[in-house]
């Protein structure tokens, strides 16, 4: 047998020691998870901001279209027999 065989007791002890969690491992895991949570929160904030930007753009566009339609003069209505009959039935001050 050689010194580098897989079933040596020293190698088994080394693997058992590597599998046992330590306080440093717990700290590293917490640092990793807090960084992951931070990146996830940043990603969600960017998504909300992007969504809010679209809503603001849509509202501004709707306001501009509404403003242009209000400021535009009303078209002249064509004189028709029905309109004349309605006006004569209600009088001039309707």
- Identify the residue whose tokens are 């990603």: 43
Structural domains of the chain, count: 1
The two tokens of residue 47 are 């998504």
Q: How confident is the model at residue 1 (pLDDT cuts 50, 70, 90)?
A: very low
In a domain, 82, yes or no: no
Residue 92 DSSP code: T
Q: Is the pTM of this model over 0.75?
A: no
Which residues constitute the domain of residue 61? 24-70
Q: Residue 87: CB partners within 8 Å, gap ≥ 6?
A: 94
Residue 72 DSSP code: S
The two tokens of residue 48 are 């909300």
In a domain, 7, yes or no: no
In a domain, 64, yes or no: yes
The two tokens of residue 88 are 């004569």
Q: How confident is the model at residue 74 (pLDDT cuts 50, 70, 90)?
A: low
The two tokens of residue 32 are 């990793």
Largest CA distance in the chain: 121
Tell me which H or E stretch contains 59.
helix 23-71
What's the whole-number mean pLDDT along residues 65-78? 73
């Amino acid at each position: 047998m050689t010194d580098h065989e897989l079933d040596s007791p020293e190698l088994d002890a080394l693997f058992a020691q590597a599998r046992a969690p330590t306080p440093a491992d717990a700290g590293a895991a917490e640092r990793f998870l807090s960084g992951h949570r931070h990146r996830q929160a940043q990603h969600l904030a960017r998504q909300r901001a992007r969504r809010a930007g679209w809503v603001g753009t849509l509202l501004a566009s709707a306001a501009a279209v509404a403003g242009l339609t209000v400021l535009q003069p009303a078209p002249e209505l064509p004189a028709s027999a029905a309109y004349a009959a309605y006006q004569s039935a209600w009088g001039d001050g309707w």
